Each structure stands twice: as structure tokens, then as C-alpha cells.
Copies of this chain bind each other. A is one copy, B any other.
Amino acid sequence: MPSISNKGRLMPQSPIRKLVPYAEDAKKRGVKVYHLNIGQPDIKTPDVALKAVKNNNLDIVAYSRSEGSEEYRTKLSEYYKKNHINVSASDIIITTGGSEALLFTFGSIMDHGDEVIIPEPFYANYNGFSVASGVKVVPVISKIEDNFALPPIEDFEKLITPKTKAILICNPGNPTGYLYSEEEIKKLAKIVIKHNLFLIADEVYREFTYDGEKHHSIMGIEDLENHGIMIDSVSKRYSMCGARVGCVVSKNSEVINTVLKFAQARLSPPTYAQIASEAALETPQSYFDEVIEEYVERRNTLIKELQSIEGVKVAKPKGAFYCIAELPINDADDFSQWLLEKFSLNGETVMVAPAAGFYSTPGLGKNQVRIAYVLKKEDLLTSVNILRKALKQYKP
């Protein structure tokens, strides 16, 4: 029997998805599962996007342009301008979700064996994209005690080698909820310019900032034009994760032309989803105001309740809709599986994402879980209560 690749063996199982079979078994046993494991919001997709697809008049569901339709990219550049990101349609390549945007970016700027420095914990699938691209993730440790702020810039500098091609951040952060300050972004800009690296910023949670804090895009930083690559997606902004539309944005035309070649090889991003995404740009501000208000309440509820559990440590998120919680256990993988396999409270249990998968340093995050606050307040209250009881009962 022919064997799979080393790459295939190394490819990590998604910590967000690997417990899905256990959740399905639990459901088959009649147990209700609260999904805190995945960033799939329960927020309704804007009507304007849903209607555009229902009212579409396509006769032939044809390929779009590989870089996305001219109309969509032009309107998207206007959205960016409103967000103080001064780019034009030609600086944008539409991709199949932020996932493909990252894969194309990695392929365009890194070769087999090259290195990308990423503050950890980081979005778990960065590991998968790195393995797929033959690239090595070099982690810089950020700490729950510091709320997962940017590690000292010297920590980055120590790790730079001739193989280093880029620094990658997620801002606001998945899984940490940390929002980088303008000062922190400027420090990163300075170091990538000094060492002639790219700075990739995954800014898909741009709209989700709380407590009056502002998001600072890397695209707004002076002198970073040739170094900055922004990753974006409609998934979270408009609660349309299943559309699969994202983009790569850069003022570096060599990068954009290279990404375009990757885009041409796969022909085009999905056509229906581009209809939804273009229409979603007309979403009224009131939609976002309500959504942000809702998330602030959820976050406040979740953090307060988690902090009331003995032995639980949690960083307060300033953006996105995740938090990392440290639990009074040794093995969050085992605990998370046990929650689905063995535990229930009044016929209900919770699914969380073990945090080890969000680290690349072995051993880190073993006692942490990522919790996505994508459920309504009363479900979050129930979920934390389930966690509280479960932690008491859990005997590893």
C-alpha cells in the first residue's frame, strides 16, 4: 500500500474540530451540546446579503475573475477607505475565505524550510497552513498573566534568522481576544523594516473591539507599504462563515501579482458567495452596533462567571469573541473529551477547544481551553455552570 506524505502525517488535527465525533456521539445519546469550541456566531447574517443571493438572477453559475469581480473589489476598497485603510481595487485579491488568503500569502513569500514568527497562542490553523506550505512556525510566547500583550520586541529579534521571512499577527487576536495598541503595531513595523521581512496581519475581527478601544490596521502605518500584507474575510464581520470569501490586501505589487498567479491556478473564488459579500457591504451601521453591544454583554457575562470558578484564570478580551481560560486541570485534551463522553448536567454538556493546539511550543497550553462566546447570554450562563460542576466532578 503506498504511503501518505510526511506532510500529511505532520498536518495537525484541528483542535477546534477534532472532538466533533465525540460531540456527535453525545447528541446521539440525547445530550445537548453547547458549542463554545468554534467561532461560528449565532448572529443572523445581514438581510441585505441573504436577499441578494435569494434574488440573484444567474442563469449560468460561471467562473468569476480569479482575483474577484472588479465591482466587488472596487466597493471593498471603499469600505477599507472608510476604515482608514487607503487601498484600491488593484491592491486586493479575493480569496476563498481568509484560509486561502493565508495559504496564497505563505506560498507567495516563503519557500520550503523558511520561517514565520508568530506570537503564541495563535489561531490553530496557522499550523496547518504552515505544514501545507512546508514552512516552519517559530513561536514567541505571550502570557495569560500579561493578557497576551505583544511580547517584548527583543524576543522577536532573538528569533530572526536568515530563514525568517515574515512575522504574522492576528489582531484582534484569535484565540486571545487581545487588541494590539498602535504603539505595539509600530514596534512590529519597525522591526520588519529593519530586518527586511513581511508583516502579515490577520484582521478579520476588525469590527469586534470593545470598551471604546480602536483597531489599528497595519495598512495605516507609514513606510510599511512594501512589507505589509493584510488578511481579511467576510466570515465574522457579517456572520457568514460558510460563504468562504476573504482577501489578500497589499500595496506591494510584486506580492499581489504573485498571489494572483496562485489565484489563477484555482480559477476563481465562489460566485454565489461574492454576490452575498458585495451586498453585505451595504449592511447598516445599526447592525454592527447591535452586534457589538451583544458581544460586550456576552464577554462580560462569560468573564465574570469564569472568574467566579475557583482555580480558573482568564484574560479579559478587548476584541474578537474568544478567550483563553486556564483551568485547574493538567490535561485539557482529556478534560474536553471527557465533557463530551462522560459528563452531563441535566442532559447538557459543553464543547470547548483544548488550547494546546493553539501553541506550537510542546507542553504549553495543556491546562488551557479556548472558549468562543458566540452563544446568547443565557446559554453562556448555562455553559459556565456546566463547566463549574464538571471541574468539581472531573477525576483525570
> Contact between B11 and A262 (Cβ–Cβ < 8 Å)?
yes
Cα distance A56–B53 in the bound complex, in angstroms: 9
Q: Mark A15-49, 1 if CB is under 8 A from B, else 0.
A: 01110100000000000000000101111110001
Cβ of A252 under 8 Å from chain B: yes
> Contact between B12 and A270 (Cβ–Cβ < 8 Å)?
no
> Contact between B4 and A258 (Cβ–Cβ < 8 Å)?
yes
> Contact between B264 and A272 (Cβ–Cβ < 8 Å)?
no
> Contact between A1 and B270 (Cβ–Cβ < 8 Å)?
no
Cα distance A204–B17 in the bound complex, in angstroms: 29
Identity of the chain B residue whose Cβ is nearest the Cβ of A255 in the assembled complex: B4
> Contact between B50 and A132 (Cβ–Cβ < 8 Å)?
no
> Contact between A7 and B125 (Cβ–Cβ < 8 Å)?
no
Q: Which residues of B contact A112 (CB under 8 A)?
A: 7, 112, 134
Cβ of A273 under 8 Å from chain B: yes
Residues of chain A whose beta carbon lies under 8 Å from any beta carbon of chain B: 1-9, 11-14, 16-18, 20, 38, 40-45, 49-50, 53-56, 58-66, 96-97, 99-100, 103, 107-112, 114, 125, 128-129, 132, 134, 165-166, 192, 196-198, 226-227, 239-244, 252, 254-255, 258, 261-262, 264-273, 276
A204 CB to nearest B CB, Å: 12
Identity of the chain B residue whose Cβ is nearest the Cβ of A268 in the assembled complex: B242
A–B pairs, 22, beta carbons within 8 Å: A2-B196, A5-B107, A6-B111, A7-B108, A9-B258, A11-B262, A14-B66, A14-B261, A17-B66, A40-B62, A41-B60, A44-B60, A54-B54, A96-B96, A96-B270, A129-B265, A132-B265, A241-B267, A242-B271, A244-B268, A244-B269, A244-B270
> Contact between A61 and B241 (Cβ–Cβ < 8 Å)?
yes
Cα distance A17–B264 in the bound complex, in angstroms: 7
> Contact between B265 and A99 (Cβ–Cβ < 8 Å)?
yes
Which of B243, B264, B267 makes the CB contact (< 8 A) with A270?
B243
Q: Which residues of B contact A45 (CB under 8 A)?
A: 58-61
Cα distance A243–B61 in the bound complex, in angstroms: 6
Q: Which residues of B contact A242 (CB under 8 A)?
A: 61-64, 268, 270-272
Cα distance A2–B16 in the bound complex, in angstroms: 34
> Contact between A2 and B227 (Cβ–Cβ < 8 Å)?
yes
> Contact between B2 and A197 (Cβ–Cβ < 8 Å)?
yes
> Contact between A128 and B261 (Cβ–Cβ < 8 Å)?
yes
Cα distance A136–B31 in the bound complex, in angstroms: 50
Known: A11-B107, A273-B273. 18 other contacts (CB 8 A): A4-B255, A4-B258, A5-B107, A7-B112, A11-B262, A16-B264, A17-B264, A38-B63, A53-B56, A54-B54, A61-B243, A62-B241, A125-B267, A128-B264, A132-B265, A241-B268, A242-B271, A272-B272
Cα distance A290–B84 in the bound complex, in angstroms: 53
Which of B20, B61, B125, B261 makes the CB contact (< 8 A) with A8?
B261
Cα distance A254–B3 in the bound complex, in angstroms: 8
Q: Which residues of B contact A111 (CB under 8 A)?
A: 5-7
Cα distance A354–B253 in the bound complex, in angstroms: 26
Cα distance A49–B17 in the bound complex, in angstroms: 30
Q: Which residues of B contact A2 (CB under 8 A)?
A: 109, 165-166, 192, 196-198, 226-227
Best-surrounded residue of A5, A53, A65 (most CB of chain B within 10 A)? A5
Identity of the chain B residue whose Cβ is nearest the Cβ of A259 in the assembled complex: B8
